[in-house]
Structures are given as C-alpha cells and as structure tokens.
Structure 1
Amino acid sequence: MSDLTLKERLLNVLEGKEVDKVPVCSVTQTGIVELMDEVGAPWPESHSDAELMAKLAIANHELSGLEAVRVPYCLTVLVEAMGCEINMGTKNRQPSVTGHPYPKSLDDAAIPEDLLQRGRIPAVLEAIKIIRDKVGPDVPIIGGMEGPITIASDLASVKSFMKWSIKKPDLFEQVLDLATEAAIIYANEMVEAGADVISVADPVASPDLMSPDSFKDFLMPRLQKFSGAVNSTTILHICGNVNPVLDYMADCGFEGLSVEEKIGSVKKAKEVIGTRARLVGNISSPFTLLPGPADKIKTESRQAMDDGIDVLAPGCGIAPMTPLENIKALVAARDEYYA
C-alpha cells in the first residue's frame, strides 16, 4: 500500500478503505499571506485571476507538504453569481457578503441561465484546469464551495432566513431548494473541470444558528440531495460544536465530515458516525495552527491520530496570517507518527 499516490490515499480513506497512513491536507481554505508574498499571488487579486488562484493553491501543497490542492479561498463565489453583493476583502481578510438579492420575497428568484459564466466561477473552473495541468494526475484537487444552507441564507439574508424558518416555512423551503439546485450545478462543473473532491462548508447549518430539529427536518434532506447528485467524493464541513447534529450529518451521504476542535473527543465522534462517514480535522486553526508552536501542533496531531482521525487537517479554514512553518509542523507530525 505504500505505493499509493496522494490521490489514491485520500480517495481510498474517504471511501472507507484501508490505507498505509493517514492523509494530511486541508479541505478548507489554504491561502496564507506568507505564500502570497513568496509566489506573488496576493489576495484579493488571486480570488479573481485563475493563474494567481492556481499558483497560490499549488504553493501550499509544494512548500508545506499538504497532500492536496484546494481552491478557491472563500465562501462567496457561487452566491456572487446568484446576485449577492461582495466585499472582496484585503490581503489578509477573505471576501464577505454585503448585500442580498431576495431579503423580502422570492418573486423573481431563479438560477441564472448563464450561472457558470457569471462572476468568478469561470476563474475557479480555469484554476482547477491549470492546477491539474501543473500537478499531474496523482495529486488530489479539492474544489471548495459554500453549502446549500449558507447559500440560502446569503440569498435571503441571515435575518430573513431565520425569520422564514419560523414564520414563513414555504419561503424557507423554497430558498433552500433554489440554493441546493444551484450548488449541484456548480459542484458538478468543478468536477468536470478536474476536481476530485467537493468540500462543502456550510457554517449556517451549525447548531449555533439552526436547531437540531431544523437540521433533521429541513437541512438534512437538502444536503442528502446535494451529496447524491454530485459526481464525486464529497466532504461536509460545519463550524462549531456539531455534536448535537453529528448523527444527522453522518446520514447526509457525504464520504467525509470535517469538524473543528470544538467537538471535543475524536473517539466519541467516530463512535457516533460509525462506518457512515470518515472524520476529517480537527486541529484548531485559530488556537493551534495560527499561534503554534510546532510542539503543540505535533502533540495535538498525534492525539487526533491516536484517537482515529481519518484525515489529519485544520479544523476550519487556515487563518491567513498562519506561518508556513506551522503548516509544515502539521505535515511533520503525520510523517513522524509513521516513522
């Protein structure tokens, strides 16, 4: 098994097959300022320029040793194409949504016929093709995107979305269905461009914002529809302490579940999900990877591997000011574990 390629190792482990060692990568955002300077691909320019986007993504794989290449660097690409207004951020701050197309009603809501030609979607698709050309067939490419629940809340605004979930269930379900359909179209186009894994970050599905009952009754069916319709391996990332919904997450049909350190015990989480999905994470991005030191990163990584983590990874998006050395320590921890 030691002759597995990086792609084979990651895909095999996510499919529940035995591998020689735990893969180490990031299924969440990977852009850091140190690498932006190193390769000349800063934010916000590399959010829109396919060549720069690819260059920055490849840099983290080549210079830190992370065993996958992941693009893009935010959760605003699809919602921008759907009509949201975006602040493109700065060199060390990700883009964010500043305006919503359907805060009052969904009368004119529809998926644009030219969705895949709008906004930054063409740049992301082109970046995936460039990455594949440059890294070859044996390195996995992870296409990242906002999940259906977060898309729905961005289209309506979080305030309206939450209000509709209680007072206007018809609108609530309508915007969820619209978001899910758009997400499937975009995800499959990323797969067509060359992505091996689609990693969905859906922070608004967190128990911090939506009740476990809402997750089970309304969110889970949309996530199941998404995972069933996307032509690749899929990973679901939800922020926060997801223990109240972890059992439901495992029934959503994603091969991988990406979790933060807030879940507490990796062992217990593995017991909950059983063989339904593989666990990805959960080294703290803000409290371990960002500040370090390397010894702490290695200690926490060893613990996660002892407890059975399937893919060693940051628990959430890598903070842009994280030193490259700290990401290298994550990779070194895995290497030393199997030495």
Structure 2
Amino acid sequence: MTTTVARPKDESGVTMRERMLRALACKENDRPPVAGMTTSGTVQLMDYANAAWPEVHTDAVKMSRLALAAYPYLGLESARVPYCLSYEAEALGCNVFLGTKNSTPMVKSHPYKDNFDADLVLPKRSEIPRIARNKVILDAARMMKEGAGDRPTIVGVTGPFTIAGHLVGTENLLLWVLTDPELVHKFVKFAATYEKEWLKIVDKLGVDIVQMSEPSASLDMISPESFREFALPYIQETFSGMEHTKKVLHICGNMVDGLENMIATGADGLSIEEKSDPYRSVKLVDSRAALIGNVGVVRPLLQGTPEQVREMALKSVDAGFNVISAGCGLSAMISRDNIAAMVDMVKNLPKKW
C-alpha cells in the first residue's frame, strides 16, 4: 500500500493544517476539523496500511505508514504517532507487554511498587532520544511529518500523574493521595522531570501538536482539589519547556467540574469524553481553550450504527466543539463505516454551521 500525500487544499480553499490551527486558537472556521486526536489505529486500517500492531510499536517505518493511512482510508484529517501510553514508563524501568493486533501495550511491572523509598535516577538527557522506543517514535514522527503534506501532525505523550502510577502501581498512588502526599509528590515530580525533557525533544521535531493523555488524573480517580495539588503543577512543568508545538490535554471521564483545572495547565486544547456534557463544557470553557471530542468510543463508535454516530457527532458540532474527534482512543475493532459516518457528517455540514 502506498500512502499518498494529502491534497493541499479542499474545496473551501483551506488546508487541513490551517483549519486545525485555527480551531486550536478558537478562531472562526469554515467548519470544525474531524481528526484522530487520540490513538487511531483500527484493525481495518492496519490491514489497509500493511502495518499492524504489535510490530508497529517497534518499527518506525510501519508506525509512520499507519499514521499516514488514517486520512486516505478513514478520512481523519490528521496523522498521529504512537499508539500507546506505556513508552515513557518503559524508559523509566517498567516492563511492557506490547499487546496484540487488537490490543494496546500494557505496563506489566511497577519497579517502585515495593521499593518506594528507593533513590530515583533519571536517564541522562543525551540518552533519552536513544532509548529504544523513544528512537522509534522520533524517527516515525519525522517520517510522518515528511509524508503528511498539509495535514496536521500529532505526537502522543503521557501525563506525569499517569506515568507515576505506572511506576508504583496506580492503586498505590491513589491511596497515597489520601495517606502519604509526599510520596505522591516524589514520584509525580520524577515523572514530570523526565517528561519535560522528552517534550523538549519532541518540540524540536516540527510537528503541530503534542497530545498528552492523563487518564489517572480523571475526576473518576481524584478530586478537583487533589488534581490541583498533585497533577496541575506537574503538567504545567512538563509543558513549560515547549516553545513551538500546540498542546492538547486529554483526560477521561466526566471532566465538566475539572475543566477549569484543565485550562489552568496551559493547554491550547482540551480533549474530553462523551461523559462530559458538550453544551455545559462549551459554556464553561468559553473559548479559553479549544474543545476536542466528544463522540463516544464505545457507544456509538464501537457498538452503535452509523446513524447513531452521526447524531452524536452533530451534537458535538451543535454544542460548539472546535475539533470533532473520538472522545478517547479508538478501539481497534471500530468499523470503518462508523468512523466514516463521523467524518462525512462533519465534512458535509451546511456552509453556515
């Protein structure tokens, strides 16, 4: 399969990259972009691109090929690598199972779970780009950028609170929020220090967007007050070394009561799930950041019909979301027909949507 470079401009005369950057700046647009902001690898896409998990996770050529296939095959107006939230944890000592064709990598060991008093040693700055999967992702991102034409390019990263949970076990981290705050600070600070150095490297790639996923800091897991203490300052710190790349923060669950905290991180865009009411979310954010989402991954994208997908996507558009995307990472088993329903609905909006 040969992936072609996206057409520079569509019928409106606006490039996909221009539309995305206007959306992230909360500027007037001809229509919202429809993108794969979080992970967007499906089994059907893998077959089309001849680039399948788990080999993609360790092969830069296949990783970039799968990313570039998302537009010609699915219509998603973006290209994104990688396809997991485990590679930073692996770089810091966790063992990772790379998964299967239809399942993402999983962290299988937590090196500080029973050794939380240990000294924490960061990789040297010069070593970070050479760590095995880091190098694959950097190489894939360069190839993706070269082949994307005027499509916006995205590199996915993991938030420091979530990385800390990988290092000690998320259950331990959440317990310590209540019983031992200093231990929480110790490991989240360590993760943030590493992630800041990684983001400095990514920032120099010339990609358009860094999309950070911080699922363990969801309001399903911690309170808004705990987010302000244990997640907010460390996300701000990780972002602080970036100068060139737009920042999108994704958090799972119902984040309506956490949107103020998400804005405070300094993110240009906030990616949220369908559990967050789109109308309340738009009203609360009030264009202080772009809103991205919030078409349900399980229902309707995985389990629903194309018509149900169109209805939910239209709801996000009607509410005023700046970018239409799945509310979280796409399940590998989502059908092309359902993704196409989301894409086609957005691309065929009336001119004055």
TM-score norm. by structure 2 comes to 0.92
Distance 1:75 1:166 in 2: 25
Please say which of residues 65-74 and 33-42 is displaced more in the overlay.
33-42
Distance 2:306 2:176 in 1: 46
Distance 1:274 1:251 in 2: 14
SS of 1:190's equivalent?
A: helix
Offset from partner CA, 1:215-241 (integer Å, 9 cap, x none): 122211112222333231101100111
The alignment status of 1:271 with 2:271, answered yes or no, reads no
Quote the offset at 1:260 in angstroms.
0.5
Distance 2:110 2:132 in 1: 15
Q: 1:161 aligns with which of 173, 190, 202?
A: 173
In structure 2, the partner of 1:120 is 133
The alignment status of 1:151 with 2:163, answered yes or no, reads yes
In structure 1, the partner of 2:47 is 37
Q: Which amino acid aligns with 2:264?
A: D
Q: 1:285 aligns with which of 274, 293, 297?
A: 297
The alignment status of 1:246 with 2:256, answered yes or no, reads no
The 5 A counterparts of 1:1-339 are 2-103=12-113, 104-113=115-124, 114-136=127-149, 138-231=150-243, 232-264=245-277, 266-338=278-350
Distance 1:314 1:106 in 2: 40
Offset from partner CA, 1:71-124 (integer Å, 9 cap, x none): 111101111111111011111010001101222325231221122211311001
SS of 1:263's equivalent?
A: coil
Conservation of the 8 A alpha-carbon contact between 1:302 and 1:337: no
In structure 1, the partner of 2:6 is none
Quote the offset at 1:187 in angstroms.
2.1
Distance 1:9 1:225 in 2: 29
SS of 1:171's equivalent?
A: helix
Conservation of the 8 A alpha-carbon contact between 1:128 and 1:194: no
Conservation of the 8 A alpha-carbon contact between 2:161 and 2:230: no
Please say which of residues 56-65 and 164-173 is displaced more in the overlay.
164-173
SS of 2:240's equivalent?
A: helix
Distance 2:271 2:282 in 1: 12
Offset from partner CA, 1:231-265 (integer Å, 9 cap, x none): 3110110011112312211221101100100012x
**Structure holding more helix per residue:** 1
Distance 1:224 1:146 in 2: 13
Conservation of the 8 A alpha-carbon contact between 1:281 and 1:313: yes
TM-score norm. by structure 1 comes to 0.95
* Runs of 4+ in structure 1 over 6 Å off: none
Conservation of the 8 A alpha-carbon contact between 2:176 and 2:183: yes
SS of 1:261's equivalent?
A: coil
Structure 1: gaps of 5 or more residues: none
Quote the offset at 1:179 in angstroms.
0.9
Distance 1:106 1:272 in 2: 41
SS of 2:291's equivalent?
A: strand
Offset from partner CA, 1:192-211 (integer Å, 9 cap, x none): 22321000111000011112
Q: Which amino acid aligns with 1:109?
A: L
Distance 1:119 1:150 in 2: 21
Q: Which amino acid aligns with 1:252?
A: T
Q: Which amino acid aligns with 1:150?
A: T
Aligned CA-pair RMSD: 1.5
Please say which of residues 240-249 and 103-112 is displaced more in the overlay.
103-112
Distance 1:17 1:228 in 2: 24
